[in-house]
Amino acid sequence: MKISVVGTGYVGLVSGVCFSELGNQVICVDKDQRKVDVLNKLQSPIYEPGLTELIEKNYREKRLEFTTDLSYGVKNSDIVIIAVGTPPLPNGEANLLYIEQVATEIATEMNDYKIIMTKSTVPVGTNHRIKEIVSNLTKFPFDVVSVPEFLREGSAVKDTLNPDRIVIGTESEAAMKILTDLHKPLTDNIIVTDIRSAEMIKYASNAFLATKISFINEIANICDKVGADVTKVAEGMGYDKRIGAAFLNAGIGYGGSCFPKDTNALVQIAGNANYDFKLLKSVIEVNQNQRFNIMEKLKASLTTLSGKTVAVWGLAFKPNTDDVRDAPAFEIISELVANGVKVKAFDPIAQENFRTQFNHPDIQWCESPLDAAKDSDAICLLTEWDVFKSINLFEVQNVMANPVLIDGRNVFSKEQISLTKFDYKSIGRPG
């Protein structure tokens, strides 16, 4: 198939590259000339394992192009994928400005029948709005289809090439057949439904996963009080197929560009339909408070924070990404600095991204986990990067002023810690 993808963020770029890997002819379009220049030098503007290799391979095999020319993309494709951002408005609602602009531009550049496939996460009813915009501006036939994306950052290529399911929301039999064939090499689990349900599946999935995380985080907080171990509790729960083991890792709460944005947007979508989504509001509140759980533990170990030096290990919202959007590290470091703490920060990949968004005279940027730990009174581990998991804890304790380790991701086992001198606290694993 001939495909163009508008928007080369995580979703657009990874989808475009993976469709070319499947043998399709793909044109990736972005209005940001800088991004397109980087891509044309066969580099990836985002850190995503395996992506650069696929960009190089498919570009050299002439199945993949990058351009700022939307007209060229639309005119030379049968399927136009919309994958532009839907950032939150101040009230939490998704901002559909970019979607509407792109729909308008696609409509004016059409030269034949097109399938307009939306991959951006959009509120229920948006694809009908796209249909309305396009039909007002073109005489050519087209179908609008919602195919929400479920990839995770850090494993985006793997998730896209091995999805659990593909959801196709459409009103058109012809588009359904074409898109089923397009996705068939990826999975047999293809769910065909109406457009509104497809839009809702995406929000409901993210909201449910966020609910699982806030649920286990509250169980962890109770475990701390009653002396139970949340990792064992989660393991014991997870074997029940109705519950499942995934997304039951307690920690400092979820961040990133999706869960915070999509949970707030779903609360708004419900509210606009006169429904008070109480459960999801609590999920959001629990997540917000969970970020400060680690501060309480740090205070308990250090007694006073003012004048202390604290190493922060991990700034990305999760490992294997350089993305720091809505990373818990922002609020935690702000709180540390506000309490008179000198912060020594280290992240193996996301440090530069974080530093450009948040710098402060009381933050020292470090070159390694050991460099950050040196002369510190405590370490707060915020992201479970492999480099932290495999570190020699004896070396770490020896360079610290005071061996306190607050593990916000339950990375280390009690056995590992018992051999060291660390005053160690984690989430929901007392003693």
Q: How far apart are the first and last CA of the chain?
A: 58
Per CB under 6 A, the segment of 206-214, 362-370, 399-407, 422-430 that binds ligand UGA is 206-214
* Candidate list 153, 322, 377, 407; residue touching ligand UGA; CB under 6 A: 153
* Candidate list 92, 123, 163, 256; residue touching ligand UGA; CB under 6 A: 256
Distance between CA atoms of residues 201 and 197, nearest Å = 6
For residues 142 and 412, which CB has a smaller minimum distance to ligand UGA in the complex? 412
For residues 142 and 354, which CB has a smaller minimum distance to ligand UGA in the complex? 354
For residues 237 and 370, which CB has a smaller minimum distance to ligand UGA in the complex? 237
Per CB under 6 A, the segment of 25-33, 61-69, 73-81, 248-256 that binds ligand UGA is 248-256
Which residue in the block uniquely carries the two structure tokens 């066969």? Answer: 42
18 is catalytic: no
* Candidate list 17, 51, 83, 151; residue touching ligand UGA; CB under 6 A: 151
- What SS3 state is found at 285? helix
Under the criterion CB under 6 A, does residue 317 sit at the interface with ligand UGA?
yes
Query: By rule CB under 6 A, what count of residues binds ligand UGA?
Result: 21
Under the criterion CB under 6 A, does residue 215 sit at the interface with ligand UGA?
no
Longest Cα–Cα distance of the chain, Å, equals 74
Catalytic residue among 18, 28, 258, 380: 258
Per CB under 6 A, the segment of 71-79, 180-188, 250-258, 392-400 that binds ligand UGA is 250-258
Of the candidates 337, 356, 354, the one whose C-alpha atom is nearest the C-alpha of residue 346 is 354
Other residues' Cβ atoms within 10 Å of the Cβ of residue 241: 7
The answer to whether 273 touches 96, Cβ cutoff 8 Å, is no
Residues contacting residue 77 through CB under 8 Å, at least 6 positions apart: 2, 3, 4, 25, 27, 114
Under the criterion CB under 6 A, does residue 377 sit at the interface with ligand UGA?
no
For residues 205 and 339, which CB has a smaller minimum distance to ligand UGA in the complex? 205
Per CB under 6 A, the segment of 136-144, 150-158, 180-188, 302-310 that binds ligand UGA is 150-158
Q: In what order do the strands lie in the sheet with 79-82?
A: 64-67, 25-29, 2-6, 79-82, 114-118, 142-146, 166-169, 190-193
For residues 169 and 255, which CB has a smaller minimum distance to ligand UGA in the complex? 255
Under the criterion CB under 6 A, does residue 292 sit at the interface with ligand UGA?
no
Output the CA angle 272-267-155, nearest 5 degrees: 130
Amino acid at 348: P
Per CB under 6 A, the segment of 19-27, 178-186, 247-255, 419-427 that binds ligand UGA is 247-255
Under the criterion CB under 6 A, does residue 149 sit at the interface with ligand UGA?
yes
**Shortest distance, CB of residue 119 to ligand UGA, whole angstroms?**
10
Of the candidates 137, 136, 16, 133, the one whose C-alpha atom is nearest the C-alpha of residue 80 is 16
Under the criterion CB under 6 A, does residue 150 sit at the interface with ligand UGA?
yes
Residues contacting residue 373 through CB under 8 Å, at least 6 positions apart: 311, 344, 379, 396, 399, 400
Which residue in the block uniquely carries the two structure tokens 């995406």? Answer: 202
Q: What string marks each residue from 65 to 94 as x (binds ligand UGA by CB under 6 A) or -?
A: ------------------------------
Q: Which two tokens stand for residue 183?
A: 């996705």
Catalytic residues: 258
Residues of the shown chain interacting with ligand UGA in the complex, contacts defined by CB under 6 A: 121, 149-153, 206, 209, 213, 247-249, 251, 254-256, 258-259, 262, 317-318
